[in-house]
Structure 1
Amino acid sequence: MQWKRRIRQNIFRIMSEKHYILDISDERHDDQRHQHYVHALRAKKSRFQTERQYRLYSPERARPITRLGKAKELIEDEDADEERFSYEPYESIDIWDFAYRRCRYEFSISYAIRLKDADFLEVLLRQLKLNYENDFHPKVKDNFGRRRTRHRRRITRSETMLTDAIKNADSRCVETILDGVYDGFIYSTIVDHVCANGRTALWHACRKGDFNFVRELVERAHANVNRCGVLLVAIQNNHEEIVNYLLQQGCDPNRRVKNYNESALHIASRRNRLAIVKLLLKYGAEVNVLDYKKRTPLDYAVHKRYVDIARILIEHHNGRFIMGQAGFTPLMLAAYCDNKPIVQLLVNILPDQQVLDELLLLASRYTIDGNLSKRDEAYCYFERALSRAAPACINPSCEAYEYLTECQTLDELVSIRNDDNKLRMYALVVSERLLLQKGELKHLLTLIMKQSDVYRWQRLFRRCLQLRMHAYQLLLQAEDHRKYDEKVQKSYLFQIVSSLYKILETEKRIPVHSLARIWSWILDEFNRSLNDVLIKLLMIVFYLLETNNINGNEKYILVGLLVRLIRKNIFIKQQYSPLRYFINQAVSDVNELTCASASLPALSIIRWLIYAGADVNETDSHSKMTLLHYIVQPYNIDKARPILQILLDADAHIDCVNAYGRSPEDYVDDREVKEILRAHRKISLKCLCAHLIVSSKISYKHCRSPKLVHFVNIHSDDNGGSRVFKKPNASSNEWTMELEW
């Protein structure tokens, strides 16, 4: 019961002390004094109470306290606290009570700032200065009783006294705090301190728009003008005088916002701040900078129809415009938004050929997007460009575009006007010529993939496959295709393989030559990220080999693809070879693999891989376990019997030993499997020679043939011993052959 009474007393004391600070600041709470006085009487027996507090809350007090009286009472209160700390043992101090007494003046400062009482704040800061000069910082032990506190949670303050004063717009409180900074008893880091919300004192001053606060912080307190986006918040709130002052003080106009990667010019253009845009351009702001949406400040001005800002930005571009993330130049965007003043301004500045090319690109985009409302406008752009001059450079025809080339006359253009498919192919041909000249391959690939999706929705999967293969071919032919990461290549290949699956589901056969081309791309650019794509392609090959829908020539091509895969020693899925991967699939619960809604037996896939030349005696690089070692394990022996028979028929060596000197038969517990292994105990002459080389310790690793080195290596353990030949004694030079079976 003592600890409950102690907690109750501490609560009463904290309540009384908190309201004490309020009451010396404001004398208008007469109706609450009686309640405070009652609470103080209830906690009268507490040793932390003083007679001054009882006198303070007594309603008999008539005359209001003066400023000097406030200071005297604070000093007397601190003297009483020092006396209590001098004789009070640490074991008897409540940690919450002690923490409150240490933060007492900080609470008082925040209350004084909110009440906008600069005189009271000055008194508190003076007392805080005395505390620091007298080194009034008692330390608390790490141990409280028998329990040890390890790491205390660090409290991050959302605001400092300076930011709190600026937010309350009290100039006298700000001056009082800054005087404490100049005098040295308040740390100067409070000026550039970043609060928990990522704001500084200068940021709040720029947001409030108080030029005097900003100048005081920059000139006298030496606040950093390039921290926490102070220029950006001044632009957002349209404080032109502060923006001009910050730029004069050396603020970087090209500094970005972390979250949105926006510059000051982006914000000014988007919010129609004409005067601020002129200031930023005067101090060297970049006009071609991109934000997180890959847009320039001019794009925002054109899109929001801010003609005056767009005109100023166009003059600073000097005719050098870049294409945005959506594939629009400023002229294309102005024409798309039907912003005629900006269109006319750009037409007067840009060369005629550049205007025609950009309008052709816009017409091609209208056509590919299927925008019916813009169809006539797109045809007018095509006709206008062709009437000026025929294209000098024509790309060769290709199968992906149905062997269509650019029109040379208006009659050719008229002939394809009502044919939607040919008009789309014409738009792709024009876009390929213009975008490759500009080096904008990404936008060209976007248009091609968009048209392939149209074919996919129309269930024209062969046309979809042709366009996607053409897009990937352009990606490989580009000089800078290495800058595209593995995810981009994987996404294109995955879409190509998905088109093959769709063709296989609908037609039950696919063009084998296209499959061979995709196979070459995957093997040439193979990495771990293409594992799933390669497995899907392998399933398609096995499906075609199992069905009778291909002729002999196509079957020969498919087997050749498997041979090429095996000879390249490509590992898939956890560093497994293709043979071991499908054996693991067969031994596990997956008895049949599916492809295009058709099931494929795993045993047939294993036979095709062995037929293509897969090594049935391959070993693990660490444990030297062969496929026979994995198959005869007791936990999967029921499903492994047919696979074991296939491997033995393919001349798998049962005398191979792993790194622990154990053969596959040493792992067998099933009688039927032992009978199968005994039936294949015939050791060839080649195996006997390998055992003799190992037992005689003849050097063989210098041999030029890696296959021969591997063959000898699988017949020996890590100690160089053999299971067939044994030496009876050290003095004898004769060897005896012992068959342990």
Structure 2
Amino acid sequence: MTSVLLWSFPLFSSIWPVLRKVFIIINHQRIKNRQKENIYLHCNKGKDEVSMLVAAKTSGATPLVIACRNGHYDVAEYLIEKCHADLEQPGSVMFDGEMIEGAPPLWCAAAAGHLDIVKLLISCGAKVNTTTRTNSTPLRAACFDGHLEIVKYLVQHGADIEVANRHGHTCLMIACYKGHLRIARYLLSLKASVNRKSVKGNTALHDCAESGSLDILKLLIDYGATMDVDSYGMTPLLAAAVTGHSHIVEYLIKIPHLVSRKERIDALELLGATCVDKKRDMMGALELWKRALHDRYFGDGPPIPKQRSPKVAAYDYVVEITNPENLDDLMVDPDEMRMQALVMRERILGPAHPDTSYYIRYRGAVYADAGKFNRCIELWNYALDMQQSMLERLNPMTQSSLFSFTELFSFMMGEEGKQNTRGRVVPSVNVLDILNVFNKAVREIELGSLMLQRIPNAERDINYLTRVMVITLHLACLLTRLLDHHTSTEQVTREIHKAIFDLVKLNIKARSGRMMLHLACCRDAAILGRYPACQFPSPHLAEVLLKVGADPNVKDDDGNTPLHLAAMTKPCPTGVAQVLLNNGAHIDLVNINGETFSDLLKEQQVHEIVNTTKYTRLSCAAARVIQQFKIPYKGVVPVALESFIEVH
């Protein structure tokens, strides 16, 4: 595809054949002398035209960036020497399924492993420490994919081995994480900082432990790596245990000057929990827990009793086993063994660690698959409470938990009474369960909005808040569906209305200044989950929102009312439009482009949707006449009417 920019200037009509030839050469990897000569002849038409040509981007990348990314040396050489392409002009390129923004040509060549192009660019003056938008250098890119010769060449030409990306990850850290032993050894020989920490406090030793690179881990220890803790209080030993790398754990616990007795015990217990939840290796877990208990009570020195944790309903009130003989009894009760693993992990990692809530949610999902929905809901609520108490507001993990609840409730409502794959009948969803989660979601919106208000406008990102609002709206939609259910009572109806009123009264705006009613009336709010029990726009939800006080004529940043957004849906949902109009929406309000509801309808006539006569008010008609004939009204009519006239 060609850039829109190319078609915007007439002068490119004669240059386009040149660009096309360049991309044919790049895409098909065919370099022919005659083609190069043709490009040269066209490029001689004018320096300005050539400069615009080589600076033009296709899918976010210039011809030089594309050539460097794909290893086309002749094209890169020609663009640099004959067309004088900018060596530092960045572009967007795809690596391993991820879009890299602001990647300079040298970074692209280094990341892709094209040593010849790296040499070409540096010989022509490319800056060796230039970075991407995330502050990744060409050297770090080469370390990521294990291109040792490029690493050496870049270092020889001035690359700084200590430049970290925006997360504080250095070249040594990424080489260790990716398991590139020779690169790690080379960087260490250059005195790379072995104990340097990232933004989140992890070191290269953490990265080795997480990835399972034992040889590199031994190398780091030889160079003086220490057992530091990251921001979660995790040592490399615990990092290896939580990821299930038993060979790393077994190696480290035998080094007494690095690992204390308590750290050794915790690592064995955590590794056992990982065997239960990640590897489904019950026998392996029991053996590890027995070793840990023996070391705890019969090892060198006095016993180290387990810290007693409060009994938790979500864990079936299990108490951690302290007697090795009692461990064997777990083999006949797999459920208790799984709960033991959850209790153990929470004690060792703490509630703030992501893996603590992750495995609680994982266990809940396993119960849901088995048809034990109550156990799932109980565990997921416990994990959600943990996240909301420990994480910053609007955290992606909290969002994920809320979304999982939405999918679960949607599935239960859609499959109620049917048998699942294990022969269990899907039960009715309990309205109190949805209300409980809904109220937590509303609280997340409220506190998340307050958090954002404390952040300067330039740094404020409203996307997370918008996502939580949309998820909460889907929960509200599920609640409104229950209003018509045969089990719905007057008390349930009041509770649902009260909960949705609490949401509406917050008056919080999502992206583009949209309120809850806006979101309920447009298709953009639809969550593409596996079990879409609610379709958006939703007339049922809009009606309840209006009933509890939502403003039918509220406008977003573009001046669109909920009725405008409904009109933009193809086709416009008749039910939503009628609900809005029946509850006070003005059919002739205009947005900032001067468009009304009827103006925005596509392939539909307004009379096919509503009876305009029924919803046209005399006051609205008068306001339109004033606007149409530009009759001066400010200072003439009461102030309260000025805004009314203005929007017609």
TM norm. shorter chain > 0.5: yes
- Deviation for aligned residue 1:511: 3.4
Q: Where do 1:489-568 residues align within 5 Å?
A: 489-504=398-413, 505-506=415-416, 507=426, 509-526=428-445, 527-568=465-506
TM-superposed CA distance for 1:424, in Å, is 1.0
Deviations 1:536-583 (A, max 9, x none): 212211111110223443332111112112222345686554446556
Paired letter, 1:530: V
Q: For 1:603 and 1:238, how far apart are their aligned partners in 2? A: 63
Shift in CA distance, 464/449, structure 1 to aligned 2, threshold 3 Å: same
Structure 1 contact 142–149 (Cα < 8 Å) conserved = no
CA contact under 8 A between 1:334 and 1:342: conserved in structure 2?
Answer: no
| Native 8 Å contact 1:461 1:502 kept in 2 | no
Aligned partner of 2:456 in structure 1 is: none
Q: Deviation string for 1:640-684 (max 9, x for gaps)?
A: 79927x855x5x498998799x9x999999699476469x9899x
Aligned to 2:321: 407
- Are residues 150 and 425 of structure 1, via their aligned partners in 2, closer, same or farther at CA, if it must alter by over 3 Å? same
When residues 328 and 495 of structure 1 are mapped into structure 2, their CA distance, relative to the original with a 3 A threshold, is farther
Within-5 A mapping of 1:272-351: 279-280=189-190, 283=191, 285-287=193-195, 296=204, 300=208, 303=212, 305-306=214-215, 310=218, 313=221, 316-320=224-228, 329=238, 332=241, 336-338=245-247, 342-343=251-252, 345-347=254-256, 349-351=258-260
Gaps in structure 1 of 5+ consecutive residues: 1-94, 101-140, 165-192, 208-216, 218-222, 684-692, 700-711, 724-741
Q: Tell me how far apart the structure 1 counterparts of residues 508 and 259 of structure 2 sit (CA, whole Å).
A: 54
| One of 460, 476, 497 as aligned partner of 2:388 | 476
Superposed CA deviations along residues 110-167 of structure 1, whole A, max 9, x for unmatched, are xxxxxxxxxxxxxxxxxxxxxxxxxxxxxxx9987xx9983167798999xxxx9xxx
Deviation at 1:330, TM superposition (A): 7.0
> Contact 1:397–1:403 at 8 Å: present in 2 too?
yes
Question: Aligned to 1:346, what secondary structure does the other structure show?
Answer: coil
1:363–1:381 Cα contact (<8 Å) kept: no
Matched, 1:441 2:340: no
Show the counterpart of 1:5. Answer: none
Matched residue, 2:171: 262
Q: Is the contact between residue 386 and residue 410 of structure 1 (CA under 8 Å) also seen in structure 2?
A: no
The CA deviation at 1:431 is 0.9
* 541, 555, 577: which one aligns with 1:620: 555
8 A contact 1:390–1:409 mirrored in 2: no
* Structure 1 contact 435–444 (Cα < 8 Å) conserved: yes
Q: How many residues align?
A: 484
Distance 1:156 1:637 in 2: 46
Residue 342 of structure 2 corresponds to which residue in structure 1?
428
Q: 2:578 aligns with which of 633, 643, 649?
A: 643
With 553-562 and 294-303 compared, the bigger mean Cα shift is at 294-303
C-alpha distance after superposition, 1:332-389 (max 9, x if no partner): 4999444798345324642211111111111111121212452332342453366354
Separation of aligned partners in 2, 1:236 and 1:324 = 33
Distance 1:503 1:413, change over 3 A: farther
Aligned mates of 1:341, 1:356 — CA distance in 2: 12
Equivalent residue for 1:371, pick from 256, 270, 281 = 281
Cα distance 1:659–1:695, how it changes in 2: closer, same or farther (>3 A)?
A: farther
In the alignment, structure 1 residue 394 sits paired with structure 2 residue 332:
no
Taking CA–CA contacts closer than 8 Å with sequence separation of 6 or more, which of the two structures ends up with the larger relative contact order? 2
- Structure 2 vs 1, CA of residues 581 and 450 (structure 1 numbering), >3 Å: closer, same or farther? closer
| Contact 1:255 1:263 survives alignment (8 Å) | no
- Matched residues in 2 for 1:577 and 1:511: separation? 28
Indicate the residue corresponding to 1:687 in structure 2: none
Change (3 A) 1:612 1:276: closer
In structure 1, distance between residues paired with 2:536 and 2:40 = 73
Contact 2:589 2:597 in 1 (8 A): no
Alpha-carbon distance, 1:452 to partner: 2.6
Name the CA distance, whole Å, in 2 between partners of 1:264 and 1:563.
50
Deviations 1:307-344 (A, max 9, x none): 9x717616723443669999863774999444798345
* 3-state secondary structure, aligned to 2:317: coil
- Is the partner of 2:50 in helix, strand or coil? coil
Contact kept? 2:513, 2:557, Cα under 8 Å: no
Are the structure 2 counterparts of residues 276 and 324 from structure 1 closer, same or farther at C-alpha, using a change threshold of 3 Å?
Answer: farther
C-alpha spacing 1:337/1:432, structure 2 compared with 1 (3 Å): closer
**Using the alignment, how far apart are the partners of 2:486 and 2:173 within structure 1?**
67
Q: What amino acid maps onto 2:273 in structure 1? A: S
Change (3 A) 1:718 1:321: closer
| 1:150 and 2:85 matched | no
Change (3 A) 1:452 1:714: farther
Deviation at 1:420, TM superposition (A): 1.0
Decide whether the 8 Å contact of 2:273 with 2:341 is kept in 1. Answer: yes
Q: Say if 2:550 is the partner of 1:608.
A: no
Contact 1:497 1:537 in 2 (8 A): yes
SS in 2 for 1:528: helix
Q: Where do residues 729-740 of structure 1 align in structure 2 (5 Å cutoff)?
A: none
Q: State, as a whole percentage, how many aligned pairs show the same letter.
A: 12
1:360/1:385 contact within 8 Å kept? no
Match of 2:379 in 1: 467
| Structure of greater Rg | 1
CA shift, 1:394, in A, is: 2.9
Q: What amino acid is aligned across from residue 50 of structure 2 in structure 1?
A: H
Flag the 1:420–1:378 CA change in 2: closer, same or farther, 3 A. farther
Shift in CA distance, 299/412, structure 1 to aligned 2, threshold 3 Å: same
Alpha-carbon offset, residue 250 of structure 1: 9.6
Task: Give the gaps of 5 or more residues in structure 2.
Answer: 1-35, 55-62, 74-104, 131-136, 417-425, 446-464, 600-604, 621-632
What amino acid does structure 1 have at the position aligned with 2:262? Q
One-letter code aligned to 1:516: L
The aligned counterpart of 1:718 is 646
Q: 1:452 to 1:716 in 2, by over 3 A?
A: closer
How far 1:421 sits from its partner (Å)?
1.0
1:358 aligns with 2:267: yes
Q: Deviations along 1:203-222, whole A, 9 cap, x unmatched? A: 99x99xxxxxxxxx9xxxxx
> SS of 2:228's equivalent?
coil
Change (3 A) 1:454 1:314: farther
CA–CA separation in structure 2 for the residues paired with 1:254 and 1:148: 40
CA–CA distance in structure 2, aligned partners of residues 641 and 305 of structure 1:
61
Matched letter for residue 378 of structure 1: L
Deviations 1:366-425 (A, max 9, x none): 121212452332342453366354655433233322222333555665554431111111
CA distance in 2, matches of 1:344, 1:653: 70
